[in-house]
Structure 1
Amino acid sequence: MGHPRPGKHQEKSEDTMAYGVASAIRVIVLAGEVETVVLGEGVTAPGDPLLRRVVDELDAGAAASPFLRSPRLAERIELLPPGSPAAALGAAPIGAAAQPRAGSLPTDSVPTDQKAVFHG
Structure 2
Amino acid sequence: MSLFGKLEVEVEIKAPAHMFHEVNTTGTPELPNICPQFIQKVDLLEGEWGEEGSIVCCYFLVDGKIVVSKEVLEVVDNVNLSITFKLIGGPLLELYKNVKFIVESKPKSEGGLVRNNFEYEKLRWMF
Pick the structure with more strand per residue.
Answer: 2
Bigger radius of gyration: 1
Q: Whose RCO is larger (CA < 8 A, sep 6+)?
A: 1
TM-score range, shorter chain: under 0.3
Pick the structure with more helix per residue.
Answer: 1
TM-score (norm 2): 0.25
TM-score (norm 1): 0.25
